[in-house]
Structures are given as C-alpha cells and as structure tokens.
Amino acid sequence: MRFKSILFITVIWLAVLLSGCVGDKNVTEPATTPGVISTAIATPAPTSLVTPLAEVTPTGNEIQVKLNGARGFIPNIQTINAGDEVVWDNFDPITVTLVSNDGLFENKLLAYYQQYRYVFPKPGTFTFSVKNKNLTGTIIVEYPPIQRPAPSVTTLLELPSNALYVTARMEKLSNWSTGNEIKYGLDSFKVDVINQADIPFTIKAQILSGDLILEERTFTLENQDSKIEFTNEKKYFINDTNVNLRLFIQGYPPIEYKFMEVG
C-alpha cells in the first residue's frame, strides 16, 4: 500500500515537470498574409470612327410618290438628293396609313387626295409601308452633286488692223518631185514685223508648211516702230506648197499670213 502511494506521487511529479518544459517552448505563430487590395482600372470607352452624316439645306425640289391601297407606292423605289422633299399623295378612295419603318415620323393617316410631306436632310436608304398591307416602298437619298464653277473664259481682244505691219516673202519653191514622191525645196524666206501701235506686243511666230511647223520664234515689240526681221535657219524640203506665217499675239487671236513667192 505504501509502495502504491509513492508510485502515484512520482507520476504526478513527472507530469508537472513535463508540462513545464512544454510551456517553455516558443510557439511560432503562422505569418499573417496581408490582404490584397484589388484596384479596378477603368477602361476608356472606344472612340467611334464613324463620322456622322452632315445635314444639307433644303433644295426646294418636290418629288411625288403616289399611294394606292392595292398597288402600294408608285414608284416603288425613288432616288432623290438630300434636301429634297417627298410628297406622298393618297390616290385611293380608301384611307391608308403611311408608316416610316425607320421611325422618321409617326404614322400618318391619309384620306383620299390627302398629302404628307417630308424633307430628307441626310443621305441613306429608308423604307415605308402601308399599315396592315404587305406593301413597301423605298426612298434612296444621295448627296447632291457638287456644283463646280464653270471655268473662266478669257475674252480675246480684236487686234486693230493697222497695229502690225507684216511681210512674209520666200524664194520660189524648187520642184524636187520624182515619180510618186512630191517634194519641194524651200531655200530661203524672210519675215519682217513692225509695231505700228503705242503698246507692247509679245509674239510667238511659227513658219508652217501645211500642218508642219518648220520654225518658231518668240519676241517682244516694246513700243511703236520697234521691229524684228528674221530668215530661215536652213533649207527645207516640204510636201506642201502652202507656206504660212502664224503669229500668236498675247491677249489677241492668232493671225496668219501667206508667204509671197519672189524671184
């Protein structure tokens, strides 16, 4: 009995001793993960790339579309310009209801010979119907054509007949024709132009054989009695005996002079 008491006391003492050792141990608390704060990033709304169609000024043009309870819209498809006014006329003795399928206006009740008018300010394709009937019509609206100004026309002045004194002479053409080939020799020519007016003239002179330009000269006669003379640069072989001097005078219509043969 005494032995059991000693054994019990020993067990109690060991239990107390062990509990003290365990209580001295450092207990590592688990690290606390800080809370994650979620920040919402606002996404900007996408920018529309579609440019709104501009409205145009009413043109004053009227386009008639007839309504018939049996046949519908006459014409069924109508093309107009933006700014034009469409006039729907009910030609049916029965009252009809005009409906804009695109919501351009509220339903319109049209009695016999009654009208409804609407100006289309923007381009597009719009459909209409007669209520309670399987009848539809279409209005196609386009931009009006661009009105481009007519090109300005410069009115050329009439050159006074005595403004220039002109002589055009050439040696008689020599005939070099053989067989079926027609050919003439133009050995020399001389041109004189004298300003007889009191204003300057800028002139381009052309020597022509038919439509062929043989030579060109450009010069200015500054004042009254100023003059120029020139001769050919070389001998020419031509197929036409019609040789002319053409003068293009700035601000005036062109003038032609026929060469006179000499010698």
Same domain (yes/no): 170, 256:
yes
Number of domains in the chain: 2
197: domain CATH number is 2.60.40.150
Same domain (yes/no): 170, 237:
yes
73: domain CATH number is 2.60.40.420
Position 85 scores a pLDDT of: 95
- pLDDT averaged over every residue in the chain: 83
What range does the domain containing 111 cover?
Answer: 62-142
Same domain (yes/no): 93, 181:
no
Same domain (yes/no): 177, 255:
yes
Model pLDDT for residues 110-162, shown as the tens digit of each residue: 999 999 999 999 999 999 999 888 889 999 999 887 777 777 666 767 888 88
Residue 36 has pLDDT above 60, yes or no: no
DSSP line for 112-123 = TT-EEEEE--S-
Asked if 195 and 249 count as a contact pair (C-beta separation under 8 A), the reply is no
Is residue 4, in this structure, part of any structural domain at all?
Answer: no
* Cα 48 to Cα 44: distance, rounded to the nearest angstrom: 12
Is residue 18, in this structure, part of any structural domain at all?
Answer: no
Is residue 12, in this structure, part of any structural domain at all?
Answer: no
Burial track 72-85 (b if 16+ CB lie within 10 A, e otherwise)? bbeeeebebbbbbb
- Sign of the Cα pseudo-torsion (82, 84, 85, 87, in order): negative
Same domain (yes/no): 120, 71:
yes
Beta-bridge mates of residue 62: 85
Residue 231 φ/ψ region, left for φ over 0, alpha for ψ in the -120 to 50 degree band, beta for the rest: beta
Is residue 36, in this structure, part of any structural domain at all?
Answer: no
Is residue 220, in this structure, part of any structural domain at all?
Answer: yes
Same domain (yes/no): 181, 134:
no
Model pLDDT for residues 72-124, shown as the tens digit of each residue: 899 999 999 999 999 999 998 989 999 999 999 999 999 999 999 999 999 99
Same domain (yes/no): 178, 133:
no
* Cα 247 to Cα 79: distance, rounded to the nearest angstrom: 53
Is residue 215, in this structure, part of any structural domain at all?
Answer: yes
Model pLDDT for residues 40-63, shown as the tens digit of each residue: 555 555 555 555 666 778 888 999
Same domain (yes/no): 185, 246:
yes
Same domain (yes/no): 123, 191:
no
Model pLDDT for residues 162-211, shown as the tens digit of each residue: 899 999 999 999 999 998 889 999 999 999 999 999 899 999 999 999 88
Position 43 scores a pLDDT of: 59
Position 24 scores a pLDDT of: 46
* Cα 35 to Cα 48: distance, rounded to the nearest angstrom: 40
Position 25 scores a pLDDT of: 45
Mean pLDDT of 231-247: 93
Same domain (yes/no): 99, 188:
no
